[in-house]
Amino acid sequence: MAGYRLPEPAGNALNRRRAISFKFNGDDLSGFAGDTLASALLANGERLIGRSFKYHRPRGIVSCGVEEPTGLFDIGDRAARVANTRATDVALTEGMVARTGNAWPSVRFDVGAINSLFASVLTAGFYYKTFMWPDWRLFEPMIRKMAGLGFAGDGPDPDRYDELSLRAEVLVVGAGLAGLEAAVAAAEQGAQVLLVESDTWMGGWAATVAAGSGKDGADMRRTVASLIERASKAGVTIRMGTTVFGLYDHGLAVAVENGSRVVRERTIKIRAGRTILATGAFDRPMLFPDNDRPGVMFAHGAERYAAHYGVAVGKRVVVASSCQAGLDLVTRLRGWGVNVVSVLDFRKGDYVVGVRGRTEVTGVTFVSQGDPKHRNIEADTLLHTGGLTPNVSLHSQAGGGLRWDDEASMFVPSRLAQGVGVVGACAGVFDLGDALEHARQVGLGRIVDAPVGGAGHIPAVNSPPKELLAGSSGKTFVDLQNDVCETDVALAARENYRSVEHLKRYTTTGMATDQGKTSNVNALVTMGRLTSRTPNQVGTTKFRPPYKPVTLGAIVAGRGGERYRPLKRMPAHAFHQSRGALFEEFGGWLRPAAYPKGDESLEAAAEREAAHTRNSVSLFEGSPLGKIEVYGPDAAAFLDLMYVGNISTIAVGNARYGLMLNENGIVVDDGIVARLGPEHFWVNTTSGGAERAALAFEEWLQCEFVDMHVFVQPVVSQWGNVTVAGPKAWKLLEAAGFGAELSPAAMKHMTMREVDYAGVRMRVMRASFSGELGYEINVPALHTQALMERLWRAGGAFGLDVGMYGIEALMLMRLEKGFLHVGADTDGTTLPQDVGMARGLDKKAANFVGRRSMLRAAGQDPSRMQLVGLVPTDKRTRLPVGAHIVPHRPPSPIEGFVTSSGFSPALRHPVALAMLTRGTQRIGERLRIYHLDTEIEAEVVKTPFFDPAGERLHG
């Protein structure tokens, strides 16, 4: 490592007293605290660090920032592994494990490099033309295996993430000199200012210069220190290591902050009155053959490595530049001790026409103006800069415009987005005095035009003249990450993909993790040259968030699993757990799917539970069932408007099934409505529709039926629900001490009673979704588990074989009865008449939500799909849910599809429900059902499949 480390004072970001060990491709290496992975690799002399995406060409570190296109690694191991991480953007940590992702079996011997031999046919758009015949599916496995540059973690992410929300009157993005000046100006006039910076130091490019010796370094140190001190005194809040990756409407900026040992990353949502962008500029690459060799780097990045990380990127360095800024840094590099052996000035006719070496640079080939003879320079590094590209990503995300500046040869901001200012290099202002004055004016809230320029003349085309490339056979890359060459852009032009968006997608330039930060301008200029258009006429592609790749963990801010969608637990959760419940999520609730015994499968357990319920008695917790109490003098009239059936005619103590529609007449929920008093109703909805139904009630009351006196109160969490079902249900309740008023003889089906039991007021309803004698006991939630335990003990004491059943058994029993399950047997097109629920429509004179839509021509079409029963003719094959009903082997017009299916324990054969065109008219017909090229024959039958007379409801 010592051979590439520069002595102090170089490396002002390092703590050289703290060494850090890490692994790279299995090798043990070391760096210092403050290093990035990229600087540590360069310090260890690692030149070949990866392979390119398409051709698998050798690649090395190119830049020193977020714009890095090739230094991508898998960081971490196993579940903690993060793919495609930029080595320039990750701090070195003790024990870090980094691997090259796009090379096998190793980065030095990569089998994929064979692709280079077929480069002439692997041109832009080859995939669109090649993999279509005879069937693209034949190629899919191979393409999927080759896709990507790394491998994601293979388990739950062990890291922690966090989220923070902030407000600021002024948000300044970037703590370079212009950003500091704007922040200070705003803060000194009393504004609350938040300044965010992605680096670990302030000052930006100026801090790099300030780290050097000589008068320039000393002057810049004073300037940077003065601004930082003024910012501190003015009360500017500063967050380092924080990158704004998205700028949205209404002053919303979203950033990701590098975390600590406790939190890996923190997502910060910032609401700002004004946003000032001071995001700097990138090196614009020069274009020349073999410009992708390991050791070919951006010049300003090499200066940052020297100043902040104490790394000499090479031992014999050639600098090629087409602008004065590139030549100015040569003196600074030499001041750090970097051995610059030659300087090539593009403006004076010095052209790089080749790079020698394969896995690392061994020499540079160039020609001079008027002398076409190729000459060679022995070197291990080539630094180049073809000018600067303002970092306008966030400005464009916010809706700002761009224009091409001919003199500076760059796109610069033109039309500003509302509430967004742009200062410094990202505004195209490179003269220090002009930049600071402009930033001060913007910081004070004055809208002023940026004095673009100051960088000196930069040629629009940074590639050698074609006539001087004779004898040069290397490829010239425009986009290093996606292996897009100048010839690919030329092919796109010849094939008339001249629109900038078509160019991007046809060649894939600018579509990688760097989002074209260093490739887009050269691609656009090249396309303009090939089509006789100016870059302004070619235009730019849309800049979209995120500005840099962001981990999914940071985006969700740790809201994974139950933190993303918190699962609700039923009041008697522990009771089910103690009886071996297999829990699954249903409608946001953690509920028992079944209670398997031994190695019993879920399906077998559900069939056993359903059979036991039909023969004896079982308990089921239905606490998630939607429960809404509706009060008021207009409650009955309001519920008439909400449901298809008549609710106002329900007598006190009775209940009725109801179907709820939306304004389009579509079935959205169902349930039982009971009347507890003249102005008091107990409304049950589906478990998944509880919140939706309550919100719909409120919306209609607040927006349409504003004169109605109705109070709606959801009470799902206040009331538990214990369902007792089976022919011996009443025997169990009687054994547990419930009064005779609940006996089947005294309490009819679809009635509700309020009773006192064990000192607790309960609401008991005779209802059944299983088709058996059933009691739904609504009990205050805190007493739910005690009631279930009491019923369980009572059954055992009286010799009753009490069982438990879960959701899967309930679904089997309701399927046997042909009961509708909203959401499974319905979709966004289902009307009441499609599921046989419009029979009472003629009896209801009052209007209700969705009635008019039901009567539209489409709703009255006799060929609509209708819900019917199906039985496979062989009585053995279970019909897959979603399987299509068609008149003949596909391709064929669809006549219907299976909505629910299962094996009936009561009937000992499979049954199913389906939506079928003219279904009720086709009873007895045999159909062909197809699923994954398998044909199944089934017969259309009437429902219910089991107990069609409904006698079992009465015990």
Three-class DSSP labels, 446-462: CCCCCCCECCCCCCCCC
* Residue located via tokens 């509880």: 690
Residue type, 612: H
CA distances (Å), origin 702, targets 319, 512, 689, 885, 910 = 71, 49, 20, 44, 47
Same domain for 215 and 356?
Answer: no
Chain centroid to Cα 118, Å, comes to 36
Q: In a 10 Å sphere around its CB, with 0-12 CB exposed, 13-18 middle and 19+ buried, how is residue 8 labelled?
A: exposed
Ordered DSSP codes for 526-555: HHHHHTT--HHHH--PPP-S-SS---HHHH
Same domain for 605 and 619?
Answer: yes
Q: How many helices (H) and strands (E) does the chain have?
A: 23, 47
Phi and psi at residue 651, to the nearest 5°:
-75, 155
Boundary (domain end) residue, out of 666, 689, 714: 714
Q: Is residue 461 within 8 Å of residue 525, measured between CB atoms?
A: yes
pLDDT at 147: 66
With H, G, I as helix, E, B as strand and everything else as coil, classify residue 72.
strand
Same domain for 325 and 305?
Answer: yes
Nearest one of 193, 185, 196 to 168, comparing CA atoms = 193
Nearest one of 656, 652, 710, 648 to 683, comparing CA atoms = 656
Considering the domain boundaries, does residue 207 fall inside one?
Answer: yes
Residue-range definition of the domain harbouring residue 778 = 568-624+718-813
C-alpha 483/C-alpha 127 separation (Å) is 14
Work out the mean pLDDT of the chain and round it to a whole number: 92
Same domain for 885 and 925?
Answer: yes
Same domain for 584 and 657?
Answer: no
b/e per residue, 94-120, with b = 16+ CB within 10 A? Answer: eebbbbbbbbeeebeebebeebeeeee
With H, G, I as helix, E, B as strand and everything else as coil, classify residue 91.
strand
Same domain for 617 and 725?
Answer: yes
Same domain for 430 and 306?
Answer: no
Instruction: Specify the pairing of strand 50-51 against strand 27-33.
Output: unpaired
Same domain for 609 and 733?
Answer: yes
What is the CATH classification number for the domain harbouring 579? 3.30.1360.120
With H, G, I as helix, E, B as strand and everything else as coil, classify residue 282.
strand
Structure tokens at 698: 């409120």
Considering the domain boundaries, does residue 150 fall inside one?
Answer: no
C-alpha 40/C-alpha 11 separation (Å) is 12
User: 518-573 pLDDT, tens per residue?
Assistant: 999 999 999 999 999 999 999 898 888 999 999 988 998 888 777 777 889 999 99
The 10 Å Cβ neighbour count of residue 557 is: 20
pLDDT at 623: 97
Boundary (domain end) residue, out of 754, 789, 813: 813
Same domain for 866 and 731?
Answer: no
With H, G, I as helix, E, B as strand and everything else as coil, classify residue 491.
helix
pLDDT at 2: 54
Same domain for 208 and 317?
Answer: no
C-alpha 825/C-alpha 900 separation (Å) is 7
Nearest one of 938, 929, 926 to 888, comparing CA atoms = 929
Nearest one of 242, 258, 217, 232 to 9, comparing CA atoms = 217
Residue type, 324: Q
Considering the domain boundaries, does residue 559 fall inside one?
Answer: no
Residue type, 292: D
* Residue located via tokens 């990507």: 148
pLDDT at 437: 95
User: 234-284 pLDDT, tens per residue?
Assistant: 999 999 999 999 999 999 999 999 977 788 899 999 999 999 999 999 999
What is the CATH classification number for the domain harbouring 193? 3.50.50.60
Considering the domain boundaries, does residue 878 fall inside one?
Answer: yes
What is the CATH classification number for the domain harbouring 655? 3.30.70.1400
Q: Is residue 35 within 8 Å of residue 94, measured between CB atoms?
A: no
Considering the domain boundaries, does residue 609 fall inside one?
Answer: yes
Considering the domain boundaries, does residue 824 fall inside one?
Answer: no
Q: What is the DSSP letter of 88?
A: G
Structure tokens at 51: 């392979």
C-alpha 192/C-alpha 431 separation (Å) is 28
Structure tokens at 435: 């930049």
C-alpha 451/C-alpha 460 separation (Å) is 20
Number of domains in the chain: 7
Same domain for 104 and 20?
Answer: yes
3: left (phi over 0), alpha (psi -120 to 50) or beta: alpha
Q: In a 10 Å sphere around its CB, with 0-12 CB exposed, 13-18 middle and 19+ buried, how is residue 147 labelled?
A: exposed
pLDDT at 370: 79
C-alpha 897/C-alpha 914 separation (Å) is 6
Q: What is the DSSP letter of 285?
A: P
pLDDT at 146: 66
Considering the domain boundaries, does residue 83 fall inside one?
Answer: yes
Q: What is the DSSP letter of 566?
A: P
What is the CATH classification number for the domain harbouring 517? 1.10.10
- Residue 409 half-sphere exposure, CB side, CA atoms within 13 Å? 20
C-alpha 481/C-alpha 260 separation (Å) is 30
Boundary (domain end) residue, out of 714, 743, 768: 714
Considering the domain boundaries, does residue 820 fall inside one?
Answer: no
Same domain for 173 and 239?
Answer: yes
C-alpha 493/C-alpha 489 separation (Å) is 6
Residues of the chain with pLDDT under 70: 1-3, 117-119, 121, 146-148, 453-457, 840
C-alpha 238/C-alpha 198 separation (Å) is 11
- pTM of the entire predicted model: 0.76
End-to-end CA distance of the chain: 85
Residue type, 605: A
pLDDT at 699: 96
C-alpha 18/C-alpha 87 separation (Å) is 20
